[in-house]
Amino acid sequence: MKWFDYMERYDYEQLIFCQDKNSGLKAIIAIHDTTLGPALGGVRMWKYDSEEEAIVDALRLARGMTYKAAAAGLNLGGGKTVIIGDPRKDKNEEMFRALGRFIQGLNGRYITAEDVGTTEEDMDIIHQETRFVTGVSPAFGSSGNPSPVTAYGVYRGMKAAAKIAFGSDSLEGKTVAVQGVGSVAYHLCKHLHEEGARLIVTDIVRENVERAVRDFGAESVAPDKIYDVECDIFSPCALGAIINDETLPRLKCRVVAGSANNQLKEERHGDRLEELGIIYVPDYVINAGGLINVADELFGYNRERAMKKVETIYDNVLRVFEIAKRDGIPSYKAADRMAEERIESLARSRSTFLRNERNVLNMV
């Protein structure tokens, strides 16, 4: 892979390789875009099959964070760190302290957080070396578990989608099929149940299903049957790439709206949803609550302020569909356009300011 060509094609700013022999750290920090502000994105630790796979993952995830932050109206850019290693057996304190020093060396261009394979405790170790980390223990000013906040944002986005699809944002009496009822989806089901929605759930973990059935009166189906359920809203809250050639013909819903990342296996599946008349809420727009929540820590965490910002996911979803209608494009493209328009607008504003500042200095 010609990395400079790849970075130029998608307009990345930095790709940083971090190595610490004593701890075994092999990490890659990717910074995509800092037009709106410092790049924020979590540390993912994974047993990658190759260094190239790790680099591509870091780059892809960093770019996704740029779009998520921009669409959420945050003054942040996109970045990501990946650590090559097995999170179950390769972790040690020295590794995360070394990573913290590398992050500190970027002097605030990149701020990290928890992600797949890392924990709140790992963030506490990083915090010993740098202040440019979120998602640490509440004792250090963190917001704590982000799952309830992410769930509330998904709930608000789902209500906006219902307004588009059904003419009202009320979910009372609506049937919602929830794929995966882990931490985020459990709290989502709580909001839906309280509003009077009918829930049909599935999960590969039996205990998760039993809890949803017990607490919310949900019906349950086998994991491979959830796509065949007749429902108003299909809510993917587990795996990515679940909207694909196999599952699309089986969907019996008016809306797809859930917390899972990368729900479309390929972009053409978003086109197909549009053709079928199914309202698709782009995942990085509706699941931005967790990012909004940890971003608030940068100002000294205030839950009321964070939740007020999460409320705006409702308006952001409506805005996506306004752009889709305006430009005659599917919703997934409209979400990208919404994010890009915000970045480009600030870039032009900043360019004009700098040009005017230079003109003033030349006159002195």
Residues known to be catalytic: 80
CA–CA dist 46, 83 (Å, integer)? 6
Look up residue 312 and give its DSSP letter: T
Residue 133 CB contacts under 8 Å (≥ 6 apart), including other chains: 100, 103, 111, 112, 113, 123, 126, 127
Provide the sign of the torsion angle of the four alpha carbons 268, 272, 275, 280, taken in this order: negative
Rounded to the nearest 10 degrees, the angle between the axes of helix 303-311 and helix 313-327 is 20
Query: Following CA atoms 138, 142, 148, 149 in sequence, which dihedral angle do they give, to the nearest 10 degrees?
Result: 160
H or E stretch including 236?
Answer: strand 233-236
Query: Following CA atoms 220, 226, 228, 231 in sequence, which dihedral angle do they give, to the nearest 10 degrees?
Result: 70
Query: 53, 47 in Cβ contact below 8 A?
Result: no
CA–CA dist 206, 27 (Å, integer)? 35
Terminus-to-terminus CA distance in the chain, angstroms?
Answer: 49
Query: 158, 178 in Cβ contact below 8 A?
Result: no
Question: Cβ of 259: how many Cβ atoms within 10 Å?
Answer: 30
Structure-block tokens of residue 201: 């759930």
